[in-house]
Structure 1
Amino acid sequence: MNTAHRRFRTAAVIAASAGAALLATSCSGTFDKFDESKAYKKTETFSFAQASSGIDTLPSWVPAGATGIDEVIRTTGNERILRMTANITEIDHNSCIARPTVETRPASLSAQWWPTGVEKGSSFQCGDWYVGEKDSFVYGYRPETLDFIIDQLDNK
């Protein structure tokens, strides 16, 4: 056996051993196992200086002149909370219906800027969003609709 062939064979054995070791460690629990009970907790947060910056993410009823927009989205479901600086009279009233009272499940998402219970003060329903105004901000809330997440929220 020549020297070049021996080196190649040694390198192949080392590479195969290293690959087997990596494969064994990745299957032995070094990665967290999926915990379905925590699935409803996955969220993303967005902030936009103006509505035009979030045109692909924000709901269609958000006024074009809205500024200082913050939004939290549940990535594993439908729930969303939103706050913006805007005048509630500027929302798209063609897609919104005035509601004197709102009966909806409380928001399970939270953010430092989201006042507890603000969704109950909503005065409009815009599709599946509840929209209201408090302390010079417009707030929007889209409740969770996926049953498996609602079950988890109810069992917290």
Structure 2
Amino acid sequence: MRLRTSSIVGITATALSVAAIGYTVLPVVGELLGGPGRPQAGYVSGAQAKAARPSLPHWLPDSATEVDYKASSDGGNRLLHARLTDGALPAACTTAVSSARPAKLTARWFPAGIDVRPTASCGQYLVVLDGEQLYAWQTDAARVPVAEAAAAR
């Protein structure tokens, strides 16, 4: 059986179209699902988030709303967003003294470039408070010394 040139072109075009759609759609689906090895979740309140995820920081107010959280499975990199209706930093926070960017961790709800201007530190997290919107990140480098200190006790 001989295939016509038009059939070969049609089959090739269809295969390339399917590949292009897969190449375009899969990263978006992966981001929506948190990406491979990067758990991501959204919560109604800080209390609900902390009850569901023990890895969320204790300083996050229970009254926080619209909580988004993403964690790297291969280290201590974390991203956090929450709405603080009073627009005030949690009491456990202090003025930021350094800056460290979360390596290879992004989320559609975490603004690009915001991590270059931390305004406070809350525990191991660096924080930007923009009105009522709190954006926080923790790096693996910040987590490791604390984990080692806890293990030495």
TM-score between both structures, scaled by the size of structure 1: 0.58
Which residue number corresponds to residue 46 of structure 1? 41
Partner of 2:94: 97
How many positions carry a matched residue from both structures?
A: 104
- Determine if contact 1:63/1:90 at 8 Å carries over to the other structure: no
The 4+ residue runs of structure 1 with deviation greater than 3 A are: none
Percent identity of paired positions between Structure 1 and Structure 2 = 22
Distance in structure 1 (CA, Å) of the matches to 2:74 and 2:68: 19
**1:19 counterpart residue number:** none
Give 5+ residue unaligned stretches, structure 2.
Answer: 1-35, 145-153
Q: Is the 8 A contact 1:88 1:132 kept in 2?
A: no
Distance 2:115 2:129 in 1: 10
Q: CA deviation at 1:105?
A: 3.1
| Counterpart position of 2:76 | 78
Letter in 2 for 1:142: Q
Q: CA RMSD in A?
A: 2.2
How far apart are the structure 2 equivalents of 1:48 and 1:132? 20
Distance in 2 (alpha carbons) for counterparts of 1:97 and 1:79:
20
Indicate the SS of the match to 1:43: coil
Conserved? CA contact 1:102–1:121, under 8 Å: no
Deviations 1:98-156 (A, max 9, x none): 12x53213542111111112122221111210011136411110012289xxxxxxxxx
Unaligned runs of 5+ in 1: 1-40, 148-156
Higher Rg of the two aligned structures: 1
- Find the residue that maps to 1:70 and give its secondary structure: strand
User: 1: CA distance between counterparts of 2:50 and 2:99?
Assistant: 29
Comparing 65-74 with 125-134, which one deviates more in the overlay? 125-134
> Could you tell me which residue of structure 2 aligns to residue 140 of structure 1?
136
